[in-house]
Chain A
């Protein structure tokens, strides 16, 4: 149980294009999902907290117009990197909080974004 998927797992795009990453909770409902960014050999940095049916809450320093988050249902949140640039290349990981067990976050497998 408590499986979170991400799609795609790896994406390469040209500079200036937009990329959408999906995060799904497969066997539970999640009113809250989190988006993290991880640079090589570094820890996870929280980018934003996504609540179903409302606007996301962004951490300080994260551009909300560049990283668009939509949480349209209890099982799906999307992160769109708009006008991507090489410095946006990173490993993006989402997590979801189970309604039935709010103390624990379950993580997706991550999406590696490479911007050329």
Chain B
């Protein structure tokens, strides 16, 4: 069975500072990895995904993530955050195309002025 762990439930950071949101997963097979963002009272918006190929994936809003198979990690990074990046971020994994998604517990990014 697959599982996802987001190590930080909350990450406070000042505006224009860099940020890294951590995600580790466990699975016995190859996986697809996703990061979603959720703004208050809204659904989830796909930030980026890793399916295969280059381990560095670039997404929307200046975010990127790096797949590290040996460390079973898929950490999300942004070099300079904005107030508008304040939201809940979810890491998710699926074992194969179209299979169910398993979500991590979420990380609340709080950007302070």
Task: Give the B-binding residues of A (Cβ under 8 A).
Answer: 4, 6, 32, 34, 42-44, 46, 49, 93, 95, 97, 102-110, 112
Interface readout for B73-108 with A: 1 if CB under 8 Å, 0 if not? 000000000000000001000100110111111100
User: Chain A residues with Cβ under 8 A from B63's Cβ?
Assistant: none
Q: Chain A interface: which of B11-19, B20-28, B45-53? A: B45-53
User: Chain B residues with Cβ under 8 A from A108's Cβ?
Assistant: 43
B70 at the interface (CB under 8 A from A): no
Q: Check A46/B49 contact, CB under 8 A, given A93-B43, A93-B44, A103-B32.
A: no
Specify the chain B residue showing the minimal Cβ separation from A109.
Answer: B43
* Count of chain B residues near A, Cβ 8 A: 22
Can you give 27 contacting A-B residue pairs, CB < 8 Å? A4-B43, A34-B100, A34-B101, A42-B105, A42-B106, A43-B105, A43-B106, A46-B100, A46-B101, A49-B100, A93-B43, A93-B44, A95-B101, A102-B97, A102-B98, A103-B32, A103-B49, A103-B51, A103-B94, A103-B97, A104-B49, A107-B43, A107-B46, A108-B43, A109-B42, A109-B43, A110-B42
Contact of B41 among A6, A95, A112 (CB under 8 A): A112
